[in-house]
Structure 1
Amino acid sequence: MTWTSSGWSHRAAQLARATQIGRSTDRGALMHALRAVLTGLRVPAYRDERRAAVAELQVLVDTEQRTLDPSLAVTLARAHLEMGDTHAAGIALDMVSASRLAIDTEASWTVHYMRVGLLVTAGDLGRAETIFDDAVREPPPAPMGLHTWGRDKTALLQLRMFRGGLGEIAAMREDMAPKFDAIPAYRGAIALSLFDIGDVDGARDIVGWFAYGRLSAVPDGILWLTTVVLAARAAALTRVTPVCEEALDLLAPYAEHTIVLTPGVLGVVDHHLAHVCMALGRWDEARSHVVKARELHGQRGFRVWEAESLLLAAQIDIASGREIDPEHLRTARSIAYHCGATALLDRIDDMQVPCER
């Protein structure tokens, strides 16, 4: 199928038509159409279409009961992860044959890359780090020479947010800076990493670029939600109020959505809404969003993000002058400890509130 410049709605209509034809004619054509929905409609407005497509595609895969092509396995795993089924995501990756991975370096790298994101999300960070170091850190040349630089960086970002800290990402500032205009999400990532290593002014300067309407001008593409969320998190941490206000308006319609940044997730939007509401002093909204975020993270198996939401709940209480619930920090610390989330443990310890392991 050839995409046109007619916009997302036209693309969605094309895919709906292709899916309808596939159902009435050919299983193979239907599978290709459903895969196209999962890869070609990765914007918030079409979450329901993706949910229906992954359910239907999984039925077809289960019926055939055979090994999966690596690209299909990764597509399925990413879709299941978005819908909150980490178990199904793992099964999809397990369905790629070992012999295929042994002879195809690109397929092997891609499956291991997706595995890292899944393990981080589900809370097995020690294993995620081992796989990253052994099989992901040095990617093979990309097909046709495209996107070679940075192919491993989203996995590294997600791993280091919770284990080890973001110093490695901060060290890439000079490499990433020339790409800021083409990929605005890099700005948010570098701002977060600078804040993490203590350069608050540097982080504030970078995320401040999103003010004056620039955040609203981010293109409506597959990185839109990620870009806004990274900017929102950095703006909340550095108290860049104009960016927080703009992010709040942009993200509000998608509160329960999962933010997919392949190979993993950045939690649910409710969590980041809670964070920007805290930065803006909108305490009741912040508490409402963080309660919902913790619930959704628990339901979807996003263990490290569940702990992050518990920590954020405590931070909201402290910032608003309320007495914190010590159970929040105890539970957050327990989850982080068992997940091997050392950076998250450091953030909890920085609260300077005694809590039992």
Structure 2
Amino acid sequence: MTPPPPPPPPQSAIRYISDCLIKPRRLPPHSSRPLHLAPWELVLLSVHYIQKGLLFPLPPRCLDRPAFILSFLEKLRRSLSSALSHFYPLAGRLATLRQTDPPLHAVFVDCSNSPGARFIHAAALNVSVADILRPTYVPSIVQSFFDHNWAVNHDGHSLSLLSAQVTELADGIFIGLSMNHVIGDGTSFWLFFNSWSEIFQAQERGEDDVVQLSRPPVLTRWFPENHPGPISLPYADDPSSFHPQYQVPDLRERVFHFSADAIAGLKAEANRQCGTTKISSFQSLTALVWRCITRARCVPLGQVTSCQMLSNNRARLDPPSRRNTLGTRSQC
């Protein structure tokens, strides 16, 4: 029999080494103006930050690890500063505009108050790449690889809107990125991450510090007709009201991957059972996930239950929305 895998390392295994704020290398003239938030973005003030990370093994011939890490971190800081020149709202903070005549209570992005994005260097040298990838469920220590774990977007009044944490592992590096969900959705998040990577590689080739991106972001917001903003909130801006008022259960995370063949099989089976050919791959997959969630809840027969899943609908709009928007207007 194959022996069971070792238990995940404890949360205390992580050690924080350095912490700094990274400002944009250059700022456009209009960056001093406030960035007002659209209605859909204001709805997300009580939602958690977006958190995604990339896991890399150390180079196979990394003979001088301290020198490699030191050089790598400096290149990341330099390229992050250049990336923020294009995505300058991520270096700012949320702010609340209050006035009595006329009544106004609006949350916006203060781009002139730009302390910078947070950059953290940490280490968990008793954790290996296999410790992260091998278990069926995501080890709890992975939560410590993200700076703003459990923060909600309203916390962006005091917390950085973007935070990058680089965690050294025994044989690898984990780069965890946290982005305020009011500023961008999943597509915007990966646009920034990929742009940061594009700048990093360009600077490795010796190009200028502020690189011209192949897909520059669009920072303009959409507002309802005849209402250009700012949009006044109909309630008091009490920070405690944006945090969950319930005890968070002890949940375990698991990542599922569906291959192209598996998706094709789901689609074919769904169409066969329903006697049609109109059910799409997306519909068949979401139907499977919804049925599995309903079974796992074990709710009594007849009880109404619901499930919400977010997906990018930019390409489904008529006309299709631009995919390089830094915002949340096209998310459903």
Greater share of residues in strand:
2
Bigger CA radius of gyration: 2
TM (norm. structure 2) is: 0.24
Q: By percentage of residues, which structure has more helix? A: 1
| TM, length-normalised to structure 1 | 0.23
